[in-house]
Structure 1
Amino acid sequence: MKLSRGKYQRIQACADERGVIAAAAMDQRGSLRKAIAKAKGAEVSDAELTEFKTAVVKILTPYASAILMDTEYGLPALQHKAPRTGVLLAYEKSGYDTSVPGRLPDLLPELSVRRIQELGGDAVKILLYYNPEDDAKINAIKHAFVERVGAECAALEMPFFLEPIAYDDRLGEGLEMAKAKPRYVAKYMEEFSKDRYGVDVLKVEFPFNIAYTSGTLGFKGEAAYTRAQALQFLKDTASAAGKPFIYLSAGVSDAVFRESLEMAAEAGVPYSGVLCGRATWQDGIPVYAQKGLAALEDWLSDQGVKNIQMLNAVLAKGAKPWWTVYGSPEAALA
């Protein structure tokens, strides 16, 4: 499926001059509040969340092609972004309903794609917990949910970035889930590349858990697979994708995230960039919690900028333009 001119131009607004999406993520809500509160040893106010987000936006967006933000606490921060930095806005509620099975998604009730556009968004982002081998009734709900968002985005020519997160509540987060992850990521990349969903860019996990990948910097000692196998998983999942895809950092350190991206380049994977959040700025959380805003700004101006510059250097070597899957920019247009 080709892109409308509006979608094409808005995706370009989120990419750099090469067509690579070098985006920063700052849409964390509940998880960010918990992390700051833990480091601070006290409750964190809404104003403090906005203050943290504002510092990240002000100092890091000159080095990012786009910024992903929430509308609940982050809109004031966007006033401080670099002029040419694109804006992705999160449409989903943070977290999920734990009282029912399936980690079902929900939208922020005060938002619509039209309102996201009016707020200055260049693209819509949805996070979706997804287990391709879950109960068919649960996945039917999720498929219909994504179809509705896709249709809403198509009507307003807004790019739709979908972030599926693999999970299996029966397996937990350990070794067994690590073993299942390559299969789950390949299946969701194939599923949500189907035109019926209207997804324009997939924001995906690496198809391995690097903590369980022997021969890597991030390896923690218990192996689910080797580095060579992880390279093959990268190739397999990339071949399953029919849409441009970018990688998320999933909370690993900046060094481990860069290593994973270098592996993708080694595997010859045509990934089109990143949406990188915590890997860049998470070490600033204790600085802010214990020393305040000025100390956070100093840390971001030094180590935060270095982190994003090192990440951009990796992207310059390995990432491909988002329109690569279409063959050329002209071929992407309907």
Structure 2
Amino acid sequence: MTHYTLKDIARPSGGFAMLAVDQREAMRLMFAAAGAPQPVSDRVLTEFKVNAASVLSPYASAILVDQQFCFQQIVEQRAVSPGCGIIVAADAFIPGNGIPVDSVEIDHRVDPQAVKRDGAKALKLLVLWRSDEDAQQRLDMVNTFTARCHRHGLLSIIEPVVRPPRRGDRFDREQAILAAAKELGNSGADLYKVEMPLYGKGSQADLLTAAQKLNDLIMMPWVILSSGIDEKLFPRAVRVAMQAGASGFLAGRAVWSSVIGLPDTDLMLRDISVPRLQRLGEIVDEMMAKR
């Protein structure tokens, strides 16, 4: 049996320049906000995801896709460039309390053996972290997920995302990101996908200090995501995170969100998103070369 390693989703430099298109109801909301005819159909999401995979995957070391809207279509249409690894989201998003993702569980409809046969090299699990929810339950879910990945020779990528507590309104995002890293940063997964401290804002010195605190707590390679970060600030965020010890990024919005709702999607992806992704990849290589 083939056991994939992080090299299979990395650039030759050893860094990660990975693209995410696994957003689900959040992407539907983005299309609605951009003025797309409502209700926004599944087909609109699928077409965008397949287009993005086709146009952008030649510039990514890996691409994160979801089974619900696009994995099969991407496989059938051979939309992913041969040099780009495929990561499949294996998380079931449960809506509630007026938000598209109120809780998450492992999606057992994603069959590790089947997706591996179709070209996947890794699975990804979103983990919602709330201070007033059971830490052991989160750890158990991560352990179950990682064991499932490794049993089939797939890489395990975890994505802890912090949320305000269920009860009370006191929420310190920065402390929560660190607490989640302390709890899950040594859980035995292969890669940790983390929210950038301070939303990538503020001085470079403050960002570096915050990212170094994260690096001290995460005992595996880690990458940053771009949700919540101004796309203009994301290249700097990647640079600073890597200075602190990160190995790159796994991001979607910073690359393609400004294209959503525009005409001529293919052309816009080529004109706007390709240069962004290329530049981010160059930053990853530059920072890896300094190690």
TM-score by length of 2: 0.88
C-alpha contact (below 8 Å) 1:186/1:207 kept by paired residues = no
> Where does residue 269 of structure 2 map in the other structure?
300
Cα deviation digits, residues 174-217 of structure 1 (max 9, x gap) = xx64xx233222222232233xx43110011112234xx444xx
> Where does residue 67 of structure 2 map in the other structure?
71
> Where does residue 223 of structure 1 map in the other structure?
none
> Where does residue 208 of structure 1 map in the other structure?
198
Equivalent residue letter for 1:257:
F
Cα deviation digits, residues 96-148 of structure 1 (max 9, x gap) = 4549xx954223342232233233210010011113x324xx22222211111
- Provide the identity percentage: 24
Cα deviation digits, residues 151-185 of structure 1 (max 9, x gap) = 1122122110000001114576xxx64xx233222
> Where does residue 228 of structure 1 map in the other structure?
205
C-alpha contact (below 8 Å) 2:238/2:248 kept by paired residues = no
Once the two structures are superposed, the pairs formed by residues 11-30 of structure 1 within 5 Å of their partners are 11-30=6-25
Cα deviation digits, residues 227-279 of structure 1 (max 9, x gap) = 533321111110111100011111433321112123334xx312111101011
Q: Does 1:193 align with 2:185?
A: yes
Segments of 5+ residues of structure 1 without an aligned counterpart are 216-226, 325-334
1 or 2, which has the higher strand percentage? 2
| Aligned pair partner of 2:161 in 135, 158, 165 | 165
Q: Does 1:309 align with 2:278?
A: yes
Tell me how large the CA RMSD over aligned residues is.
2.5
Do the aligned partners of residues 104 and 40 (structure 1) sit closer, same or farther apart at CA in structure 2, a change above 3 Å counting? closer
Cα distance in 2 for partners of 1:45, 1:96 equals 18
Q: Does 1:243 align with 2:220?
A: yes
> Where does residue 248 of structure 2 map in the other structure?
273
Secondary structure, counterpart of 1:94 in structure 2: strand
Cα distance in 1 for partners of 2:284, 2:86 equals 20
Secondary structure, counterpart of 1:28 in structure 2: coil
Cα distance in 1 for partners of 2:106, 2:224 equals 23
Cα distance in 2 for partners of 1:58, 1:171 equals 45
Once the two structures are superposed, the pairs formed by residues 24-43 of structure 1 within 5 Å of their partners are 24-38=19-33, 39-43=35-39
TM-score by length of 1: 0.78
C-alpha contact (below 8 Å) 2:238/2:249 kept by paired residues = no
C-alpha contact (below 8 Å) 1:254/1:307 kept by paired residues = no
C-alpha contact (below 8 Å) 1:270/1:320 kept by paired residues = no
Aligned residues: 284
Do the aligned partners of residues 98 and 312 (structure 1) sit closer, same or farther apart at CA in structure 2, a change above 3 Å counting? same
C-alpha contact (below 8 Å) 1:50/1:77 kept by paired residues = no
Do the aligned partners of residues 308 and 181 (structure 1) sit closer, same or farther apart at CA in structure 2, a change above 3 Å counting? same
Higher Cα radius of gyration: 1
**Where do 4+ consecutive residues of structure 1 move more than 4 Å?**
95-99
Do the aligned partners of residues 46 and 262 (structure 1) sit closer, same or farther apart at CA in structure 2, a change above 3 Å counting? same
Cα deviation digits, residues 22-76 of structure 1 (max 9, x gap) = 1100001111112112321421222221111111111111100110000111121
Segments of 5+ residues of structure 2 without an aligned counterpart are none
C-alpha contact (below 8 Å) 1:63/1:309 kept by paired residues = yes
Equivalent residue letter for 1:134:
D
Cα distance in 1 for partners of 2:231, 2:178 equals 24
Question: In the TM superposition, what is the alpha-carbon distance from 1:320 to its structure 2 partner?
Answer: 7.2
Q: Does 1:59 align with 2:55?
A: yes
C-alpha contact (below 8 Å) 1:66/1:86 kept by paired residues = yes
Once the two structures are superposed, the pairs formed by residues 97-176 of structure 1 within 5 Å of their partners are 97-98=96-97, 103-131=102-130, 133-135=131-133, 138-169=134-165
